Chain A
Amino acid sequence: MNPVSVVGGGAWGIALATAAARGGADVLLHTRREGEPIPGVRRTRSLAEAAKHARLVLLTVPSAHVREVGRALGAHLDGHHLLVHGVRGLAAVPSRTPSFEGEDLVTLSTVLREETPVRRFGALGGPVLTGELSRGEPCVMVVASHYTEVLAAVRSAFAGSFMRIYTTPDLVGLEWASALTGILAVAIGFARGAGVGAGLVSAFAIRGVHEAARIAVAAGAEERTFTGLGGFGDLLAAIGEEDRPEVRLGLALARGEEPTSAIAALGERIEALSLAPRVADFAARHGVVAPILDAVAHGLFAQKNAPEIISTLMTAPMTGGA
């Protein structure tokens, strides 16, 4: 049996646990919630038990809880564990760069490095959707890690499931790609809701990914990660998908709803609202021109109307070729 622990009992964590169990893995799910029994998945409320059960631990808590859960979990982990998170988001921390005193954006694996004794981290990403995964439909996921044993362990955990897993060593890139794609997905939903034509939506998507890539390169990512499954692949799934929370948020904003209450109404955690202005600041600080991110941070979330936002974007100075 291939033991796997999943920490976090939200829809995404349950989908991952279900998929791994379907493939024959011995899955222990750490969650405080009661729920429907899942074939092949045991539940626990003890982090110690989750840490003891498996070397590979998948962390699927909301990004705002990564630090707190990481610290608690870290008390039970040691250097032999492989810790892989499937969390979209970045963390704002006080800058450790002497030259800059404000807030810095770091990846969630960086947070876990501070909170746990683990060194071998990984992240999940790519165009896989919760629904597809839990229904057992064919789907594609990306795992990133500097450590080949982490990549191998994730592949092995889902070996028997109907999931194809691509690997990359660009951990920073995949984490930034997942986070920024989440923001871009809101913009896609907004554009669609505002009645923007398919041609222009596609242009925003492409320009948005390029912009996101330029920002992430400043954080140490590889550009090509953004043009692959973890960036563009992830965003394409948002264009055709109604179910994705970020898309639904974008649609709601296009209807003129107020961001905070729109998120509350969705009943899902969406990091884009707080993350977008931080990313826009980050881009400005690193001299990266980012009109689309700016439009999300200071247009969509500031409740400007669609024609105004689109007009700003259409008249923004040209950056780079086609």
Chain B
Amino acid sequence: MTAPIFRFNQQRDDLVQTVVERVVAEARDPVLLLNDAAYHELRRLDAAGKDSSRWRKLARSLGGLDHHAARQRLRELADEHAHDVDGNFDPRVYAFASRVLPVGLSILLRPQVLKERGLGDVLRGNALAERIRTSGPIDRIQRLAERGTVVYVPTHLSNLDSPVFAYALESARLPPVTYGAGKNLFTNPVLSFFMRNLGAYRVDRRLRHELYKLVLKAYSCILIERGFHSLFFPGGTRSRSGGVERKLKLGLAGTGLEAFIRTGQRVFFVPATINYMLTLEAETLIDDHLKDAGKARYIIEDDESTRLGRITQLVNQLAHMEGSCAVRFGEPVDPFGNVVDDRGESYDRQGRQVDPRSYVVGDDGQVRQDGNRDGQYTRELGEVAMEQYLCDTVAMTTHVVATAAFARLRAAHGGKDLFALVRRADETIVPRADMLTEIEGVQARLADLDRRGAIQLSTAVRGATASELLGEAERALNGYHASPVLHTQGEGVALLDPKVLLYYQNRLANHGVGWIGGVR
């Protein structure tokens, strides 16, 4: 394989150096940046009761720095941050990992198991591979990956998303990507093995100062300029509610436009959805969602993805279910939201060809950056991606059954608000016949959306009867989640875990199928 990422290691030193050069050269006021860094770091470290003396020293020294010394200090600090961000892609690990991953994440994520069992043994099984379905305009994306840099901007539900997406790319014969992963994940005993070796660079979300953001943006931008296909989760963080993102930050993905402006490198954005029958961290995430907005945690360090047992359980469960994980690639667009053809040419919504350069030329015909304009282009690109997310969402058995179950739950406790509903200690039992009717209703509404191209249905949802869906969802949910979620008892169905039901029904809420009150 000749994808640029395999040259990553040879370029690493040069990459870091280029990042530092760019950040220092484009800094208008080094003292201001240093002061901002010291201010934010002092606040952060003092609040955490950690040693902040080096930043205090920096802050005190700023008054006496001349222009040259300030720039030198900036260079040192930028260099430190750039090295911290720098990823590490090892082609040997990639080759190894991509063969192994299908076997089961549990094994892959525990390298010691590989040592114990031997590679050959591990490679024979292939259960999970058959479970991750990829779909969408894959041929076109393959061609575009040869003509420019592909920037994937998928939905984000789980810490497993990046390994799963990496596998989906491999399985679709698409070249691998670099991506920024939260630095906290690198201390996660389970995921760090992967991260460190699969083109991930590190994003420290605790650092709020401008200099760090500049380093990160320069790093990402230069990767894209050099043709490294990239992956960003534009939701910024995993969806807490389980709902499809309705608000995108794009943030670093905006460097795709910057790379195009700086070098003319063709950049193609590919929105995508990653869909699970079961979400690894469902319980933690929905708990966090239901907390008061102000108390919700931006970084969660102690969820299910740090626990080997839960990951193993999830993978075992997924591996035994048809189509339990689906990655759907959306229509590729240019940085201005225009669709592109196989050759990478851009077209407006009337199918007329348009030159992407025309969006970034000034009155004088020169291409240039413009913070306000480019930020707005990127926001509008986010809107295009969100529209695609809805149409490319793959509705799974658990979503359908949870939607029906939650609707019955609401009907049984009419008038109760969300919090009263999900905090019910007693179980609600609904007649099985009612439950099946409700499921059929959800199926019908989904089929209608599907006909209009407004959603995708998993093969299981498309073909199964309501009774089959209920049975499969019950097995899946109860087989993985900590306590039973719903349970058929004779002619009744007991709804046991409203929170988990809410989480899965939220996937369809923005389609108007699930209850919208749960994602607001």
The 0/1 profile, CB within 8 Å of A marked 1, for residues 340-355 of chain B is: 0000000011101011
* Residues of B in contact with A (beta carbons under 8 Å apart): 336-338, 348-350, 352, 354-361, 363, 370, 372-373, 376-377, 379-380, 387, 390-391, 449, 452, 454-455, 510-513, 516
Alpha-carbon gap, A113 to B390, bound state (A) = 20
Among B360, B376, B387, B510, contact of A96 (Cβ-Cβ < 8 Å): B387
- In order of increasing CB-CB distance, the 3 nearest A-B pairs are A99-B512, A79-B359, A79-B358
A114 contact set on B, CB distance < 8 A:
349-350
Indicate if the CB atoms of A147 and B376 lie closer than 8 Å: yes
Question: A106-149 toward B: CB 8 Å interface, digit per residue (1/0)?
Answer: 00000001111101100000000000000000000000001111
* Contact A79 B363, beta carbon cutoff 8 Å: no
Contacts A/B (CB < 8 Å), 14 sampled: A71-B350, A74-B348, A75-B352, A79-B354, A79-B358, A79-B359, A80-B358, A80-B361, A97-B512, A98-B455, A100-B512, A117-B352, A148-B372, A149-B373
Task: State the Cβ distance, A172 to closest chain B Cβ, in Å.
Answer: 12
A39 CA to B38 CA, complexed, in Å:
61
Query: Which residue from chain B places its CB closest to the CB of A76 in the assembled complex?
Result: B352
A55 contacts B by Cβ under 8 Å: yes
Q: A98 with B512: in contact, given A55-B363, A117-B354, A149-B373 (CB under 8 Å)?
A: yes
CA gap between A100 and B452 in the complex, in Å: 12
B38 → A minimal CB distance (Å)? 32
Flag if A74 contacts B352 (CB, 8 Å): yes
B381 CB, min distance to chain A CBs, angstroms: 10
Contacts of B370 in A (CB 8 A): 149
Residues of A within 8 A of B349 (CB): 113-115
- Name B454's closest neighbour in chain A (CB-CB): A98
A74 nearest in chain B by CB position: B350
How many angstroms between the C-alpha atoms of A146 and B338 in the bound complex?
Answer: 19
Residue of B nearest to A114 (CB): B349
How many A residues have CB within 8 A of the partner chain? 23
Closest Cβ neighbor of A97 among chain B residues: B512
**Known contacts A98-B452, A99-B511; is A146 also within 8 Å of B376 by CB?**
yes
B359 touches A119 (CB 8 A): yes
User: Does A78 count as interface, using CB distance less than 8 angstroms?
Assistant: yes
Alpha-carbon distance A146/B513, docked complex (angstroms): 33
Residues of B within 8 A of A74 (CB): 348, 350, 352
Q: A120 vs B358: C-alpha distance in the bound complex, in angstroms?
A: 12
A117 to B354, CA, bound (A): 7
Give per-residue flags for A23-50: 1 if the beta carbon is below 8 A from chain B beta carbons, else 0: 0000000000000000000000000000
A79 CB contacts on chain B under 8 angstroms: 336, 354-360
In the complex where A78-B358, A146-B376, A148-B373 touch, is A117 in contact with B348 (Cβ < 8 A)? yes
In chain B, what residue has the closest Cβ to A81? Answer: B358
Q: Residues of A contacting B455 with CB < 8 Å?
A: 98
| Cα–Cα distance between A79 and B377 once the two chains are bound (Å) | 11
What's the least CB distance linking B488 to chain A, in Å?
30
Which of A99, A115, A119, A146 is B350 in contact with, Cβ under 8 Å? A115
